Amino acid sequence: MPNPQSIHNWIRYTSLSIATLVGVAVIPAVHATTSITLKEWDIYNYPEQMAVINQAIKDFSAQHPNIKINRSVHSFEDMRIPLKLALSSGGGPQVAQVNQGGGDMGALVKQKLLVPMDRYAKQYHWTERFPPSILKSNRWSKELKFGKGALYGVASLGEMVGFYYNKAVLDKAGLSVPKTMVQLNADMAKLKKQGVAPMMLGLLDGNAGQQMLSALWQDQIDSSQRKPLDKLIYDQGGTFHDPRLVRAAKLMQTWAKKGYFFQGFQGIGHDDAATLFQNGQSAFFISGTWYMGQFKANKDIHFAALPKFKGVPHPLMEGGTDLPFSITTAAKTKAQRDAAAAFINELVSEKVANAWLQHGFLAAAVTKNAKLPANNPLLSDVHHVWVEVNQNNALGHYIDWATPTMLTTINQSVQKLMGGRMTPKQLTDVLDKDYQKYIASLSH
């Protein structure tokens, strides 16, 4: 999962749901002679999100009158330590959204507080409807190997870090949308010469810088060559000493030295940067789809995959899913676990995916029956990219997943990089030191 701040922004602004081109299977009925009550925790606390989830509960209850859903809405932080404490004490919800990574889902698996969901994945055809690259982030082995073993969650939504552009700004400058990195660099030079800020960035509060670095790194990795990065992120070994990461860092430093970023970017927060971009203060903005809801009011703003590097036909796109829904050990009986799985299947269904779409969120339940609202072109942009990314198995990673301390390490390193206090090579040294230390700790 992305870092907590990106989750907060994404929850505030947009969502994506996930599946493949396969249609949704018929939902088997849950047979029970007695009533079942399920407590459910989620983080969908904004009005349109509430509308989608509440309607899903209403529809599910109509199909399963013997199952009662007691929904409870929480903050992201409540879904971490408080959830763990509630489950450890023998209480807590039977269904909950659980953050990926070792500190959260991995810790709950280690304490045997989550229920393996492979049997339900087969029953409801989740392994056919969801790409392996998505399900893998919710898998943990008995040896607590990330990305392997049993499935412990299914996410209804997803997100990407991509390339926003303001067509009105480009038209005024006499430029088209750049398709390659060579074109992007040439366009930014022309924009700078015309007195227009080429690229928006807000580096003050972290995250935005490391997301840009990661996006530029993965944009150089073709999906057919993704295995080394997968192994790195899923703690199976590898190194951050990658020439492509060095190249990405050098590119960011070069853009800063040439004045391609909005003036004063080091003192601007990422949300403020997004607002400045929304108001036409730059031509380009590399950031996540969590800003899609905010940007849809400006019809000049569009979304695309990053311009391509030479020789990379299907580049990885930084991204992931939202917090997946898991079944917890608070579901003590088979009837409760079966009911929980049926409810989760409702939440990741094509019907709910289309509900997200109609409420202005990108439901990438990528099906032939996707119904996109005609009055939201930005949603259509993002949906098109999401479909292509998943067809090419090109959904990449948030690289801070690699270790429990990587988010802090990379945020601090990018700050130093952009301030001229660290070289690109030194940045990879620092990241790799963090990674190798963590990998060594796993063998003890």
pLDDT at position 340 over 60? yes
Q: Model's pTM, two decimal places? A: 0.80
According to the model, what pLDDT value does residue 391 have? Answer: 87
What does the pLDDT look like over 117-147, one tens digit per residue?
999 999 999 988 887 878 888 999 998 888 8
pLDDT at position 57 over 50? yes
Q: Which residues, 6 or more positions from 297, have their beta carbon under 8 angstroms from its beta carbon?
A: 278
Nearest to 337 by CA among 348, 347, 326, 346: 326
Least confident of 59-63, 376-380, 400-404: 400-404
CA distance 414 to 248: 11
pLDDT at position 54 over 80? yes
Three-state SS string over 315-327 comes to ECECEEECCCEEE
Q: Which residue's entry shows tokens 């608070």? A: 330
pLDDT at position 40 over 60? yes
Instruction: Quote the mean pLDDT of the chain.
Output: 89
According to the model, what pLDDT value does residue 33 have? Answer: 59
What does the pLDDT look like over 91-105, one tens digit per residue?
999 999 998 877 789
Q: What is the torsion angle, in degrees rounded to the nearest 10, for the CA atoms of residue 1, residue 17, residue 79 and residue 337?
A: -120
According to the model, what pLDDT value does residue 31 have? Answer: 56
CA distance 332 to 355: 31
Q: What is the mean pLDDT of residues 166-181?
A: 98
pLDDT at position 402 over 60? yes
User: What is the secondary structure of 239-307 as a DSSP string?
Assistant: -S--HHHHHHHHHHHHHHHTT-BPTTGGGS-HHHHHHHHHTTS-SEEEEEGGGHHHHTT-TTEEEEPPP
According to the model, what pLDDT value does residue 100 have? Answer: 83
Beta bridge mates, 256: none
According to the model, what pLDDT value does residue 363 have? Answer: 65
* Strand intervals (E) in 47-106: 67-73, 95-97
According to the model, what pLDDT value does residue 426 have? Answer: 98
**What 3-state class would DSSP assign to 135?**
helix
What domains appear along the chain, each with residue ranges and CATH number? Answer: 36-158+321-380 (3.40.190.10), 160-320+394-442 (3.40.190.10)
Least confident of 6-20, 73-87, 184-198, 265-279: 6-20
Range with the largest mean pLDDT of 13-27, 71-85, 300-314: 300-314
According to the model, what pLDDT value does residue 378 have? Answer: 94
